[in-house]
């Protein structure tokens, strides 16, 4: 006998939903039954799991009957509608949208950073924003050695952050430009191919966009430290998949690059990538399709004795979204925070 669980993927046909499906299979998550849920428009498609074609169902109240875990990646408004219904039916919802992240009663979890927070859930656990996850994995180990006073982040965000349609739009724009045609934009406000622009989320009264404030507020919540000063500039760049970030850290005392390398080389979820002679450091090509956050170009900030610079790349769809959610589900299983459904190993 072994314990297995009924899992539902809400938003199964999207880029993150499909990645969730692949990760549940490749990581051999103990699934007794898998439900693929989407809008009426996307329902009826078939997706493959462990060699079996599964029909995508329209989301409904009945769809959450007997479900243990819901992996939700269908947008904030969808999560606000269906997450409470799923929890009322007894499921734990791991939500990838921004709908619940800053709710005091909802844990915001990066397993490499604050796994203990998952135990405090009341039915919903929030997955942080992609840029926040990648940065948190990279800087948390350093923060544990010497507290960080200030973080200055600049992000270079791929089209995948806006979903599969955005990725297709950038490809279409690139073809149009190369053919001498005028590119059109529907998902993004402006053409992204051969272009870049500040992140297009809404601006607040201080001139910071929503994406930048997510990095500020979510990092403080995950770290459990409201005193860290954080500022960010988020930029959309013409990359299909995998985000990059330039991070400047100010510590309470000097932190040498060699010390940082030693710590990060032993930290979970991180892979160091530095070849100073070839000037080769992490790139989106390197990060695409892998689990680790790639970190490199660690150097002393010449403008501040207690400053440290680093560069990172991470797969936005994978660790920035789907993988983090599956890792949270694995954490729930490992810590016995789910009610198991007995099932035979061989079916």
236 annotated as ligand-binding: yes
Give me the pLDDT at residue 338, please.
76
- Give residue 255's pLDDT: 96
Whole-number Å distance between alpha carbons of 297 and 59: 45
Q: Tokens 């005091």, residue?
A: 104
210 annotated to a ligand binding site: yes
Catalytic annotation on 6?
Answer: no
CB–CB of 183/193 below 8 Å? yes
- CA-based torsion, 216, 9, 315, 185: positive or negative: negative
What's this model's pTM, rounded to 2 decimal places?
0.94
**Residue 265: what are its φ and ψ, rounded to 5°?**
-65, -20
Q: What integer pLDDT is reported at residue 346 of this predicted model? A: 32
Q: If you compute the radius of gyration of the chain from its CA atoms, what whole number of angstroms results?
A: 20
Catalytic-role residue among 6, 121, 130, 313 = 130
What's the confidence (pLDDT) of residue 2? 55
Name the superfamily (CATH) of residues 5-127+322-335.
NAD(P)-binding Rossmann-like Domain (3.40.50.720)
Q: In angstroms, rounded to a whole number, what is the distance separating the alpha carbons of residues 281 and 96? A: 29
CATH 3.40.50.720 boundaries in the chain: 5-127+322-335
Q: What is the pLDDT along the chain (347 residues), one digit of tens a residue?
A: 358 999 999 999 999 999 999 999 999 999 999 999 999 888 899 999 999 999 999 999 999 999 999 999 999 999 999 999 999 999 999 999 999 999 999 999 999 999 999 999 999 999 999 999 999 999 999 999 999 999 999 999 999 999 999 999 999 999 999 999 999 999 999 999 999 999 999 999 999 999 999 999 999 999 999 999 999 999 999 999 999 999 999 999 999 999 999 999 999 999 999 999 999 999 999 999 999 999 999 999 999 999 999 999 999 999 999 999 999 999 999 988 875 444 333 33
Using alpha carbons, select from 157, 174, 296 the residue that is nearest to residue 239.
Answer: 157
What are the beta bridge partners of residue 56? 36
Residue 143 designated active-site: no
CATH code matching the domain that covers 132-158+196-314, chosen among 3.30.360.10, 3.40.50.720, 1.10.10.10, 3.30.830.10: 3.30.360.10
Contacts of 334 (CB under 8 A, 6+ apart): none
> Is 13 annotated as contributing to ligand binding?
yes
Residue 12 is encoded by which pair of tokens?
A: 């199964």
Q: Is 292 annotated as a binding residue?
A: no
318 belongs to an annotated ligand binding site = no
**What span, in angstroms and rounded, lies between the C-alpha atoms of 261 and 240?**
29
CA separation (Å) from 113 to 102, 131, 137, 225?
A: 17, 15, 7, 13
Catalytic residue among 121, 199, 243, 313: 243
- CATH 3.30.360.10 residue ranges in the chain? 132-158+196-314
Task: Tell whether 327 is in a known binding site.
Answer: no
């Amino acid at each position: 006998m072994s314990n297995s669980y009924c899992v539902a993927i809400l938003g199964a046909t999207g880029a993150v939903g499909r990645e969730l499906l692949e990760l549940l299979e490749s990581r051999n998550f103990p699934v007794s039954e898998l439900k693929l849920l989407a809008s009426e428009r996307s329902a009826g498609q078939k997706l493959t799991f462990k060699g079996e074609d599964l029909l995508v169902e329209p989301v409904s109240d009945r769809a959450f009957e007997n479900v243990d875990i819901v992996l939700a990646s269908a947008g904030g408004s969808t999560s606000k509608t269906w997450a409470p219904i799923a929890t009322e039916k007894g499921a734990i919802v791991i939500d990838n949208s921004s709908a619940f992240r800053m709710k005091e009663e909802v844990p915001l979890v990066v397993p490499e950073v604050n796994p203990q927070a998952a135990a405090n859930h009341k039915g919903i656990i929030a997955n942080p924003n992609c840029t926040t996850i990648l940065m948190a994995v990279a800087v948390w180990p350093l923060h544990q050695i010497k507290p960080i006073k200030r973080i200055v982040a600049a992000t270079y965000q791929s089209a995948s952050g806006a979903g599969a349609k955005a990725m297709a739009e950038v490809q279409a724009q690139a073809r149009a430009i190369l053919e001498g045609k005028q590119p059109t934009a529907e998902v993004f406000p402006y053409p992204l191919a051969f272009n870049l622009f500040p992140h297009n989320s809404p601006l607040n009264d201080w001139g910071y966009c929503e994406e930048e404030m997510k990095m500020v507020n979510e990092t403080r919540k995950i770290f459990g430290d409201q005193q860290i000063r954080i500022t960010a500039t988020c930029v959309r760049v013409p990359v299909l998949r995998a985000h990059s970030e330039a991070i400047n850290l100010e510590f309470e005392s000097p932190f040498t690059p060699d010390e940082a390398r030693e710590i990060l080389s032993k930290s979970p979820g991180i892979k160091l990538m530095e070849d100073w002679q070839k000037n080769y450091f992490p790139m989106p090509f390197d990060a695409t399709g892998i689990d680790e956050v790639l970190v490199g170009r660690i150097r002393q900030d010449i403008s501040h004795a207690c400053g440290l610079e680093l560069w990172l790349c991470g797969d936005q769809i994978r660790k920035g979204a789907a993988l983090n959610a599956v890792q949270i589900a694995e954490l729930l299983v490992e810590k016995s925070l789910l009610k198991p459904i007995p099932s035979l190993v061989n079916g």
